[in-house]
Amino acid sequence: MTRIAIAGAAGRMGRTLVSAVLQSKDDLKVSVATVLADDPFLGADIGLLATGVSLGVTTTADLAAAAEDFDVLIDFTAPEATMEHLEICRQAGKGIVIGTTGLSEAQKQRIAEVTEIPVVFAPNYSVGVNLSLNLLRSAAKVLGDDFDIEIIEAHHRMKKDSPSGTALKMGEVIADELGRNLSEVAVYGREGIGEERDSKTIGFATVRGGDIVGDHTVVFAGMGERIEITHRASSRMTFATGAVRAASWLGAREPGVYSMLDVLELAD
């Protein structure tokens, strides 16, 4: 049995992750649940919080002290917390599934350089989104430089980072296929009167409002035709289920950094 720790377990995503572990058909159990030291749910039974059924696992603010009680940590918290958790897992020899977004390039590089433990690091754990990444790669390969590319994403009003990590990953996949550097061709906003659109650019548009779970559309706009590839998430459970699948998969892996495409056997 793989013992799963959930970081930020009392939050919306944390509770969904707990539920996803309980619903998984794999041999998994929630053994550790962390919250912040000032969280009002510190010491609460995470099963009661997430599902209304006791699991006998109470929330803790000290992941390091609980390191011997789990095999894989699932972390969808905040950048600084995630980096602290990564170090704890590295020191304790525990696997980690990272779904945190808004990480800096330096933080992403630190994750990429981990060699002591197995890590799954992805901007989105939805099976549908990861399938969409493969579709986008194929579309970019076929359409080449003849189509303008725009990426539109929408999320709930509480999401702090923009564009979303998923939107950026979509842009990276397309740019790589076209031999472009996303940091050089990305356009994150348009206003006023300017020059006509540079055909090499990849545009991003961000919407924040209400309780939108996550919508992503990539538009390939040509002369006389337009192709759109869209993924819409209606529940956080789709991300949680994918992350739990990644945690189960990770339990038998050698140290190294993997993507969700590896988990789904969609990687090149």
**Residues 155-191: tens digit of each pLDDT:** 999 998 999 999 999 999 999 999 999 999 999 988 9
Whether 200 sits among the annotated catalytic residues: the reply is no
Question: Residue 235's pLDDT is what?
Answer: 92
- The phi and psi torsions of 30 (rounded to 5 degrees) equal -80, 120
What is the DSSP secondary structure assignment for residue 143, as one 8-state letter? H
Cβ–Cβ under 8 Å, residues 121 and 82 = no
Query: pLDDT, tens digit, for every residue of 14-28?
Result: 999 999 999 999 999
Q: Give bridge partners of residue 132 from the DSSP assignment.
A: none
Nearest to 120 by CA among 31, 245, 20: 245
118-121 vs 95-98, strand pairing mode: parallel
Catalytic residue among 25, 94, 108, 159: 159
CA–CA gap between residue 256 and residue 262 (Å, rounded): 12
Give the residue extent of every domain in the chain. 2-125+236-263, 127-233
Q: Which of 155, 169, 216, 231 is catalytic?
A: 155
Q: What is the CATH number of domain 2-125+236-263?
A: 3.40.50.720
Distances (CA, A) of 181 to 150, 162, 167, 176, 197: 15, 19, 15, 7, 17
Which letter does DSSP use for residue 60 in this model?
A: B
In this predicted structure, the answer to whether residue 268 has a pLDDT above a threshold of 80 is no
Do the first three CATH levels of 2-125+236-263 and 127-233 match, i.e. the same topology?
Answer: no
Q: Tokens in use for 92? A: 């304790």
- Name residues whose C-beta falls within 8 Å of residue 69's C-beta, 6 or more positions apart in sequence: 3, 5, 31, 32
Residue 258 zone, left/alpha/beta (φ > 0; ψ -120 to 50; rest)? beta
pTM: 0.84
- Hey, what are 105's tokens? 């390039």
Q: Is the pLDDT of residue 267 over 80?
A: no
Specify the CATH number of the domain 127-233.
3.30.360.10
User: Between these two residues, 267 and 83, which has the higher pLDDT value?
Assistant: 83
Q: Please confirm, yes or no, whether 159 is among the known catalytic residues.
A: yes
* pLDDT tens column, 182-215: 999 999 988 999 889 999 999 999 999 999 999 9
pLDDT digits (tens, 9 = 90+) for 56-69: 999 999 999 999 99
